Amino acid sequence: MNRIANTFNNRRNNILSIYFTAGHKGLNTCVDILKHLENSGVDIVELGIPFSDPVADGPTIQKSSETALLNGMSVKQLFEELQNLRDDVTIPVLLMGYINPIIQFGVEAFCKKCHEVGVDGVIIPDLPLDIYERHYKDIFEQYNIVNTLLVTPQTSDERIRQIDHKSNGFIYVVSSNGTTGDKNAVLHNDYFAHIKSLELETPTLIGFGIRDNKTFENACKYANGAIIGSRFVQHIEEGYSDKHIKSFVDEIVKS
């Protein structure tokens, strides 16, 4: 059983997943940020692979990707930084990015490196389920890499159930049709309630537009937890010390 499944087996509610872009704060910073997030009580981390054309991302993450690329971040560099990841980090780590850089690196080489360094899964928004199953599923499974699938307000119930059947980690529930970090994004509770009513077998995390304690707690009423990206990327513009990151997490998960 992988770390993602273990996380949901051990805790079913109020799961907090945090996204940040690899290389945004400079090279050789990823593991430090990952350690600080784990120390702060974060359950899962999504580490973004910067890309020059991030169509699903809003201005904040687009800017962080541009900065990371200028800093020299690449897929090869990222794996070098994660070489000793599991010496210090025990929580699940997923790589989130677009299919183009993965194909350029080589899909099997990518999955093999994920397995070697201890990456648990991936989130690839522009990789459709049918393409994944036809071309890549066997490779991902060979290296025990979880492919996290997304659903949106436009995804049919039939498709959602298909995704549920094919998933072995969690389902990423995209809250709206906008991009990441949209301050005007409307979180549709009716949509969340409908997803919950389907009684899916796979855990769900809600992402896009989750930015504070209020939106986090609201999402947790309908799903196993939520994902915060743009707001955290903004927060670490000011620094990424253990204390600075803990202050952010504490504000999100007020008890």
Tell me whether residue 57 is one of the annotated catalytic residues. yes
Tokens 């071309």, residue located: 135
The token duo for 50 is 């910067």
What CATH number belongs to 12-249? 3.20.20.70
Which pLDDT tens digit goes with each residue over 93-116?
999 999 999 999 999 999 999 999
Determine phi and psi for 161, rounding to 5 degrees. Answer: -70, -35
The one catalytic residue in 32, 38, 46, 190 is: 46
Instruction: Please give the Cα distance from 94 to 101 (Å, whole number).
Output: 16
Tell me whether residue 46 is one of the annotated catalytic residues. yes
What's the pLDDT score for residue 177? 56
Amino acid at 191: Y
The one catalytic residue in 32, 43, 53, 57 is: 57
∠ CA 234-29-229, rounded to 5° = 30
Which pLDDT tens digit goes with each residue over 232-243?
999 999 999 999
pTM of the predicted model as reported, rounded to 2 decimal places:
0.93
- CA dihedral of 132, 135, 138, 144, whole degrees rounded to 10: -50
Parse the chain into domains and list their residue ranges: 12-249
Query: Which of the residues in the chain have pLDDT under 50?
Result: 179-182, 184
What's the pLDDT score for residue 56? 62
